[in-house]
Amino acid sequence: MGLKALILVGGFGTRLRPLTLTLPKPLVPFCNKPMIVHQIEALVQAGVTDIVLAVNYRPEIMEKVLKECEERYKITIHFSIESEPLGTAGPLKLAENILGKDDSPFFVLNSDVTCNYPFEQLRDFHNSHSSAGTIMVTKVDEPSNYGVVVMHTGSSQIERFVEKPKTFVGNRINAGIYIFDPKMLSRINLQPTSIETEVFPPMASDGELHAFDLQSFWADVGQPKDYIHGTCLYLSHLSNYSPNQLTQPSQHSWVNGGNVLVAPSAEIDSSALIGPNVVIGPGVKVGRGARLQRCVIMDGSRIRDHSWIHSTIVGWNCTIGRWVRIENIAVLGDDVVVKDELHINGASVLPHKSISASITEPKIVM
Amino acid sequence: MVVKAVILTGGPSRGTSFRPLNLAADMPKPLFPLGGKPMIWHQLHSLSQVPHCTEVFLIGFWPEDTFTAFINQANEEFNGCFTVKYLREWQELGTAGGTYHFRDLITHNATAFFIIHSDIACDFPLNQLRAFHETHQGVGSIQATRVSRSSAHKYGCIVSDDKALAIHYAEKPDSFVSDLVSTGVYLFDVTLFDEIAAIIDCHYSSNIPQQEIGFDEHILRLEQDVIRPMADAHKMYVFETDVPWRPIKSAGSALPANELYLAQYQAKQGILLYQRGALDDASEKDSETEIVQPVTIDPSAHIARGCKIGPFVSIAANVVVKEGARVAHAVVQENTIIEPHCCILYAIIGARCRLAPWARVEGQPFTGDESAPTQSGICILACDVLVTRDVLIRSCIVLPNKSLSTSAASQVLL
């Protein structure tokens, strides 16, 4: 019997603009694969056969990509469209006919979260206790910025949640990935509801929630700064666990420092210096003496000779001129042209712009 | 009619606003290269176009040997036109005081003489000034130009009547006097020294408190102490011109001055610009180097393939520019090494600097204002500065012997 899952996609992904002006957030590539495909593949691996996408809009382009996923993985993908935003809990109720069709537990995940998605271990752990829900938790250095999950001493059972604690109560935070028994759906009404603040606290009080420690990396990649950080974490993870997926320094002299993922169809000049922490998409061309570090270059873009790019997302089909320097969480949308010799510092550039003067301080270029 | 010329070179305690480019002992400001030639070479070159100009005197209070090499070279180059001598003030006498001190040498066999400041870049119209001078009965002629009202207070302002007679002169006035300003180029009859003698007598015999008129026992300044009273006495005439002119006060102003001379080469003396195949370096690959004129490159410099140089670039002796570097709107001084993929824009790079791969040194284009761009965004590295790999130095002024390992913007790096 197949498992079920719901992915909370939500709205237009405005925090990841200007990239999400071109593609819906779940289809924005993350390490050369759409965000949501990473999640679908991991769910399939854990035995999931029914996936609900909780969206409040329905772009046609998503249906096309997901149709391919359905065929490739022999699964069913349901669009569950909210006519009004239902928060993080309401969409579960809206999809009750699928999530609650049998007694098997179902996964819930936020679409912005990246990690190694250990769904099988999460499922096994959940089955090992009798409570209705399990929350994946991850350790962070600065818990005061998050909602902290506090467990009973010596137990995985959750005692309470503390939102943005002022004093240290623990360093485990909600990682945005859950597994529930269908009976928990009775706790939700079909109205805008927050799962974190309205559903979890009473469940914890009733002893119905356990925490599962995520051992691997974790990042919320919903905005450019975190997207770049998450990319670095993911590349490090690949480097540790499946280095063959990365571009091999032994085969390409231009790989510098490792953690480099280059699509096979990309053309890199041998005098370029790429890495560490770089993702280059299909069809990208990188010219002589270009220097790329801690950045993502998406499909079809062209980086011309001697340019220098650091901590930047270059969107699709961009052209970066010669001797250009781009840095400091700059994000270029689709088909942006940057003329020769310019300096771009932290700018967000909307699609189809041609930049012909340096941008020395971070700003948005409409 | 024989004429002579005085070039006022100042001394080590002058030109401090030109720091940090003149902080090195081997780079007195009058020899700072513009268009690949020492600053005062351009004065000499213009004087060489003046008929019957027999002697040029560099006057200042620099150590004796400061100009020796330059003068030896100049006497060779301008042999047949004039001789060049350095006349040293043993103590600072002021711009008029020094000239007055050497009046016997200057007046010998001459009827008139130019006085030209060293810290200006100009397409010096000396023959026109001379022709103008012969049309009037005054003691001296001032070459003057119009500047914007807002910048006029930085200069010596002149009011003249409709017959080009100067009727008032004010040096760097607080309030607006005139938009017609002195360019620092003059032609005087030798009777100027009678005027100066009278001024000195007048000062010593008067009871006016010294500080009120700015008169010092030893220092006699050309503009304030001599030209100002002569204008009041209706003895000076004004030759107005609109030829290209740039004062060179701050270090950043050397860049527009350099561009002025490069543009002048392009218009009149293309032979002074870089010529294909001119470099000594036998391995030079001209066809793989992009040169955008106007550019001067010393023949001893090495330019690697894949570079793009220009427009408005001057590269000095023994500079090495490695593969794929970009240089535009810049002056690069001797023995500096620019490693692969570097980018230098709107910058002055001092001697013996090293820019590691992918370093970027970038200023901002100066405005069209003819005033000294003291607050301009020109990026300046003094001598012996190291910029490490990947570092961006933007609109900074960097003092000598610094090693820069992190990026910096809009600051002075001591």
Is the CB of B362 less than 8 angstroms away from the CB of A343? Answer: yes
Q: Does A12 touch chain B (CB under 8 A)?
A: no
Q: Where does B61-190 show beta strands of DSSP type E?
A: 83-88, 112-117, 120-122, 140-146, 156-160, 166-171, 180-189
Domain boundary, last residue among B193, B219, B247: B247
Same domain, B33 and B162: yes
Q: Mean per-residue pLDDT for B191-219?
A: 72
- HSE-CB of A182 using CA atoms within 13 angstroms: 14
Report whether pLDDT(B280) > 80: no
Q: pLDDT at position A134, please?
A: 96
Q: Mean per-residue pLDDT for B55-79?
A: 95
Q: Mean per-residue pLDDT for B126-150?
A: 95
* A111-150 confidence digits (pLDDT tens): 999 999 999 999 999 999 989 999 999 999 888 888 899 9
What CATH number is given to the structural domain containing B27?
Answer: 3.90.550.10
Contact, A293 vs A277, CB < 8 A? yes
Restricting to A residues 188-227, those with a Cβ less than 8 Å away from any Cβ of B are: none
Least Cα distance to A136 among A159, A111, A107 occurs for A107
Chain A closest-CA separation from residue B341 CA (Å):
5
Is the CB of A306 less than 8 angstroms away from the CB of B392? Answer: no
Report whether pLDDT(A172) > 70: yes
- Partners of A271 on chain B (C-beta within 8 Å) are 324
The minimal CB distance from B360 to the residues A271, A293, A325 is found for A325
Average predicted confidence (pLDDT) for chain B: 89
Instruction: Compute how many other C-beta atoms are within 10 angstroms of the C-beta atom of residue B201.
Output: 10
Q: Mean per-residue pLDDT for B199-222?
A: 68
Is the CB of A322 less than 8 angstroms away from the CB of B328? Answer: no
Report whether pLDDT(B216) > 70: no
> How many domains does chain B divide into?
2
A156 backbone dihedrals φ, ψ, rounded to 5°: -90, -5
Burial class (CB in 10 A: 0-12, 13-18, 19+), A337: middle
Q: Mean per-residue pLDDT for B246-266?
A: 93
Sole residue written with tokens 């040194």:
B361
- Partners of B304 on chain A (C-beta within 8 Å) are none
Same domain, B387 and B285: yes
Least Cα distance to B332 among B371, B367, B302 occurs for B302
Is the CB of B390 less than 8 angstroms away from the CB of A308? Answer: yes
CA–CA separation, B222 and B220 (whole Å)? 7
What CATH number is given to the structural domain containing B270?
Answer: 2.160.10.10
Sole residue written with tokens 């999530």:
A99
Is the CB of A341 less than 8 angstroms away from the CB of B343? Answer: yes
Q: Mutate which of B343, B361, B388 to disrupt the A interface (most A C-beta within 10 Å)?
A: B343
CA–CA separation, B397 and B17 (whole Å)? 12
Structural element, H or E, at residue B107: helix B103-107
Residue type, B264: Q
Contact, B53 vs B78, CB < 8 A? no
Average predicted confidence (pLDDT) for chain A: 92
Strands A218-220 and A147-151: unpaired
Is the CB of A308 less than 8 angstroms away from the CB of B360? Answer: yes
Q: Which residues are paired to A4 by β-bridges?
A: A50, A106
Contact, A179 vs A105, CB < 8 A? yes
Same domain, B147 and B189: yes
Same domain, B124 and B225: yes
- The tokens for A172 are 């485990």
Nearest CA in chain A to B325: A306
Same domain, B370 and B243: no
Q: pLDDT at position B217, please?
A: 63
- Partners of A305 on chain B (C-beta within 8 Å) are 306, 324
Least Cα distance to B226 among B182, B283, B273, B256 occurs for B182
CA–CA separation, B239 and B166 (whole Å)? 10
Least Cα distance to A139 among A30, A230, A222, A212 occurs for A212
Least Cα distance to A133 among A199, A216, A215 occurs for A199
- The tokens for A355 are 């930049």
Q: Mean per-residue pLDDT for B82-99?
A: 92
- Partners of B323 on chain A (C-beta within 8 Å) are 289
Is the CB of A306 less than 8 angstroms away from the CB of B394? Answer: no
Q: Mutate which of A323, A324, A325, A359 to disrupt the B interface (most B C-beta within 10 Å)?
A: A323
Q: Where are the domains of chain A?
A: 3-220, 227-365
As a whole-number percent, the residues of chain B with pLDDT over 90 amount to 74
Q: pLDDT at position A10, please?
A: 77
Q: Does A289 touch chain B (CB under 8 A)?
A: yes
Is the CB of A305 less than 8 angstroms away from the CB of B340? Answer: no
Q: pLDDT at position B284, please?
A: 52
Is the CB of B324 less than 8 angstroms away from the CB of A306? Answer: yes
Contact, A348 vs A365, CB < 8 A? yes
Worst-scoring range by mean pLDDT, B120-124, B179-183, B217-221?
B217-221
Confidence of residue B287 (pLDDT cuts 50, 70, 90): low
Phi-psi region of A352 (alpha: psi -120 to 50; beta: other; left: phi over 0): left
The minimal CB distance from B341 to the residues A289, A327, A360 is found for A289
CA–CA separation, A78 and A97 (whole Å)? 11
Report whether pLDDT(B179) > 80: yes
Coil, strand or helix: which one is B126? helix
> For residue B36, what are the domain limits?
3-247
Q: pLDDT at position B370, please?
A: 42
Q: pLDDT at position A131, please?
A: 92
Same domain, B29 and B149: yes
Chain B closest-CA separation from residue A306 CA (Å):
5
Coil, strand or helix: which one is B83? strand
Residue type, B130: R
Strands A113-115 and A218-220: antiparallel
Chain A closest-CA separation from residue B354 CA (Å):
18
Q: Mean per-residue pLDDT for A338-363?
A: 95
Domain boundary, last residue among B247, B280, B304: B247
Q: Does A339 touch chain B (CB under 8 A)?
A: no
Q: Which residue has the higher pLDDT, A320 or B200?
A: A320
Q: pLDDT at position B288, please?
A: 78
Q: Mean per-residue pLDDT for A215-233?
A: 93
Following DSSP, what letter does each residue of B187-225 receive, concatenated?
EEETTHHHHHHHHHHHHHH--S-HHHHT--SS---IIII
The minimal CB distance from A325 to the residues B325, B392, B409 is found for B392
- The CATH code for residues A3-220 is 3.90.550.10
- Please state the three-class secondary structure of chain A as a single string: CCEEEEEEEECCCHHHCCHHHCCCHHHCECCCCEHHHHHHHHHHHCCEEEEEEEECCCCHHHHHHHHHHHHHHCCEEEEEECCCCCECCHHHHHCHHHHCCCCCCEEEEECCEEECCCHHHHHHHHHHCCCCEEEEEEECCCHHHCEEEEECCCCCEEEEEEECCCCCCCCEEEEEEEEECHHHHHHCCCCCECHHHHHHHHHHHCCCEEEEECCCCEEECCCHHHHHHHHHHHHHHHHHHCHHHCCCCCCCCCECCCCEEECCCCEECCCCEECCCEEECCCCEECCCCEEEEEEECCCCEECCCCEEEEEEECCCCEECCCCEEECCEEECCCCEECCCCEEECCEECCCCEECCCECCCCEEC
Dihedral over Cα of A28, A30, A31, A37: its sign: negative
* B312-333 confidence digits (pLDDT tens): 999 999 999 999 999 999 999 9
Same domain, B219 and B348: no
Dihedral over Cα of B121, B124, B130, B135: its sign: negative
Q: Residues of A with catalytic annotation?
A: 164
- Partners of B360 on chain A (C-beta within 8 Å) are 308, 325, 343
As a whole-number percent, the residues of chain B with pLDDT over 70 amount to 92
Q: pLDDT at position A42, please?
A: 94
Q: Mean per-residue pLDDT for A48-70?
A: 86
Same domain, B61 and B209: yes
The CATH homologous superfamily of the domain defined by A227-365: Hexapeptide repeat proteins (2.160.10.10)
Chain B closest-CA separation from residue A358 CA (Å):
10
Same domain, B212 and B290: no
**CB contacts < 8 Å between A and B, how many?**
47
The minimal CB distance from B306 to the residues A288, A325, A327 is found for A288
CA–CA separation, A19 and A16 (whole Å)? 6
Chain A closest-CA separation from residue B292 CA (Å):
14
CA–CA separation, B232 and B234 (whole Å)? 5
* Alpha-carbon separation of residue A54 from A80, A90, A294, A321 (angstroms): 5, 10, 32, 41
CA–CA separation, B58 and B84 (whole Å)? 7
- Partners of A308 on chain B (C-beta within 8 Å) are 341, 358, 360, 390
Q: Mutate which of B289, B341, B407 to disrupt the A interface (most A C-beta within 10 Å)?
A: B341
Report whether pLDDT(A59) > 80: no
Chain A closest-CA separation from residue B306 CA (Å):
9
Q: Does A294 touch chain B (CB under 8 A)?
A: no
Q: Does A322 touch chain B (CB under 8 A)?
A: yes
DSSP state of B293: S
- Partners of A341 on chain B (C-beta within 8 Å) are 326, 328, 343, 345
